[in-house]
Amino acid sequence: MSAATAFLGLVVFILLAWILSSQRRLFPWRTVIAGLGLQFLLGWLILGTQAGAWFFNQLDGVFKKLLSFANEGVSLVFGPLANTEVLARSWGPENTFVFVVTVTGTIILVSAISSALYHYGILQRVVRLMAWGMRRLMGTSGSESLASAANVFMGQSEAPLVIKPYLASMTRSELMALMTGGMATIAGGVMAAYVSFGISAGHLLTASFMSAPAALMMAKILLPETQVSETAHGADRSPPRESVNGIDAICIGAGDGMKLAINVMAMLIAFVSMVALANYLLSLGLGVVGITDAHPLQTVLGWINAPFAWLMGIPWKDCQVVGSILGERIVLNEFVSYLNLSQLSQKGVALDVRSQTIATYALCGFANFSSIAIQIGGISALVPSRREELAKLGGKSMIGGLLACYSTACVAAIIMP
- Could you tell me which residues come within 8 angstroms of residue 283 by beta carbon, excluding any fewer than 6 positions away? 292, 293, 294, 296
CA distance 407 to 169: 30
pLDDT of residue 86: 47
List, for residues 315-374, the tens digit of each pLDDT value.
Answer: 999 998 899 899 888 887 888 888 888 888 667 677 888 999 999 999 998 888 888 888
Of the candidates 365, 356, 369, the residue with the CA atom closest to the CA atom of residue 312: 356
DSSP code, position 26 = -
Please list the rounded mean pLDDT of every run of 10 residues in the chain (417 residues).
Answer: 90 96 92 93 88 82 77 76 51 52 75 82 78 84 84 78 80 91 84 79 88 93 86 63 84 82 74 79 76 72 90 92 88 83 76 91 89 83 87 92 95 90
Buried/exposed code over 239-254 (b: 16+ C-beta within 10 A; e: otherwise): eeeebeeeeebbebbb
CA distance 180 to 31: 15
CA distance 297 to 277: 10
pLDDT of residue 176: 93
Question: What Rg, from alpha-carbon coordinates, does the chain have?
Answer: 21
pLDDT of residue 135: 82
pLDDT of residue 239: 63
List, for residues 133-150, the tens digit of each pLDDT value.
Answer: 888 888 888 888 888 888
pLDDT of residue 33: 94
Model-level pTM? 0.83
